């Protein structure tokens, strides 16, 4: 059975209102093929008839994530026709593709194959992706790589909501932001090794300006898009490191960036891919401070 549980927004319509707060009294709610709605109520030994509630699927799926495959693991059924996204749970480039796949609701269509990069299985390089990096996507008997190409590919070649608006001015700005990524990344990383955070300040000022361009929403292109996906995994890592090590809070005095971070944290397709900030901080400290 697929290890998948579906999230629901539950609207309680109880009368009289003094019965509230009822949500705490309900232990779980689940759907099965036989019983479309099972309502488990604490204090009710059996499955009870649901009270007056409406339950609305909000279209997101919380997956049980598979364990990462290592050198002792058998390969999945490569080229069996099932699209597969090879990732590492800790890689920000892979995270981009994982977010795109989640946002488009492709959890059941594109199988997630996590790889342990520190103890990589030989078959990954030999049979799947000779570049031996993540992410890679197996689709239509081909394996493609490069996160920026893959998020565009996933957006264009699979069903689900579009992550790239039609508006030509937004598309043009998206391309600008994609090109800007490398210099943003380099500026922030270089500040890790310097005494001042001037480069990082300038880099985040440029993000604040970019976020001010479209006013029809808190995201880079107004609505959530590939641009947010391209930047989010990196900002997720830069923020705790700059705060802890450089005492630089990227969101202070940058209201658009602060709002963007808040809104990103409402997007489940993204939040399920996030790592513990403490773990990210430790891994960045190991990576960047030991080289100083
Ligand atoms: N430009 C690539 C970068 C991918 C990349 O560097 N992935 C890292 C993990 S975060 C990797 O696979 N490293 C393994 C290696 O370089 O051997 C992309 O955007 O997909």
Tens of pLDDT, residue by residue over 186-226, are 999 999 989 899 999 999 999 999 999 999 999 999 999 99
257 lines ligand 1 (CB under 6 A): no
Contacts of 80 (CB under 8 A, 6+ apart): none
Nearest-atom number in ligand 1 for the CA of 134 is: 12
Tens of pLDDT, residue by residue over 160-181, are 999 999 999 999 999 999 999 9
Closest by Cα among 278, 274, 196 to 235: 274
* Per-residue pLDDT band at 290 (split at 50, 70, 90): confident
147 lines ligand 1 (CB under 6 A): yes
- Distance between CA atoms of 139 and 62, rounded to whole angstroms? 23
Nearest-atom number in ligand 1 for the CA of 148 is: 19
Question: What residue's CA is closest to ligand 1, atom 10?
Answer: 91
Q: Provide mean pLDDT across the span 12-35.
A: 31
**Pair (193, 261) in one structural domain:** yes
Provide the 10 A C-beta neighbour count for residue 249. Answer: 13
Q: How far is ligand 1, taken at its centre, from the CA of residue 116, in Å? A: 13
**Pair (152, 183) in one structural domain:** no
In 107-242 the beta strands, taken as DSSP E runs, fall at: 111-114, 136-139, 142-145
**Pair (186, 268) in one structural domain:** yes
Q: How far is ligand 1, taken at its centre, from the CA of residue 98, in Å? A: 14
Burial class (CB in 10 A: 0-12, 13-18, 19+), 128: buried
**Pair (277, 247) in one structural domain:** yes
**Pair (202, 284) in one structural domain:** yes
**Locus of tokens 């998020």:** 151
Tens of pLDDT, residue by residue over 66-102, are 999 999 999 999 999 999 999 999 999 999 999 999 9
Which pair of structure tokens corresponds to residue 133?
């990096």
Domain membership of residue 127 as a residue range? 84-157
Beta bridge partners of 87: 114
Pocket test for ligand 1, best of 92, 133, 154, 182 (most atoms within 8 A of CB): 133
CATH at residue 265: 1.20.1050.10
Q: How far is ligand 1, taken at its centre, from the CA of residue 133, in Å? A: 5
Percent of the chain with pLDDT over 70: 78
Nearest-atom number in ligand 1 for the CA of 135 is: 20
CATH at residue 129: 3.40.30.10
The model carries a pTM of: 0.81
Domain count, the chain: 2
């Amino acid at each position: 059975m697929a290890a998948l549980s579906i999230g629901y927004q539950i609207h309680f319509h109880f009368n009289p209102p003094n019965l509230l707060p009822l949500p705490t009294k309900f232990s779980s709610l689940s759907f099965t093929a036989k019983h479309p709605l099972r309502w488990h109520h604490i204090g009710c030994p059996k499955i009870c008839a649901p009270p007056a509630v409406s339950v609305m699927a909000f279209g997101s799926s919380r997956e049980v994530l598979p364990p990462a495959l290592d050198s002792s693991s058998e390969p999945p059924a490569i080229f069996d026709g099932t699209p597969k996204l090879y990732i590492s749970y800790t890689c920000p480039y892979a995270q981009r593709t994982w977010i795109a796949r989640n946002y488009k609701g492709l959890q059941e269509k594109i199988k997630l194959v996590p790889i342990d990069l520190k103890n990589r299985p030989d078959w990954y390089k030999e049979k799947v992706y000779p570049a031996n990096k993540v992410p890679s996507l197996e689709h239509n008997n081909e394996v493609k790589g490069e996160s920026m190409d893959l998020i565009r590919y996933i957006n264009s070649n699979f069903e689900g909501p579009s992550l790239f608006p039609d508006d030509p001015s937004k598309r043009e700005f998206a391309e600008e932001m994609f090109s800007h990524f490398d210099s943003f990344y380099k500026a922030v990383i270089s500040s890790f090794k310097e005494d001042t955070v001037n480069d990082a300040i300038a880099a985040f000022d440029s993000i604040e300006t970019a976020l001010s361009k479209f006013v029809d929403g808190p995201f880079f292109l107004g609505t959530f898009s590939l641009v947010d996906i391209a930047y989010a995994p990196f900002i997720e890592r830069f923020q705790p490191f700059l705060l802890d090590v450089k005492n630089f809070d990227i969101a202070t005095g940058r209201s658009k960036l602060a709002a963007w971070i808040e809104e990103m944290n409402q997007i489940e397709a993204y939040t399920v891919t996030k790592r513990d900030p403490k773990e990210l901080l430790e891994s960045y400290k190991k990576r960047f401070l030991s080289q100083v």
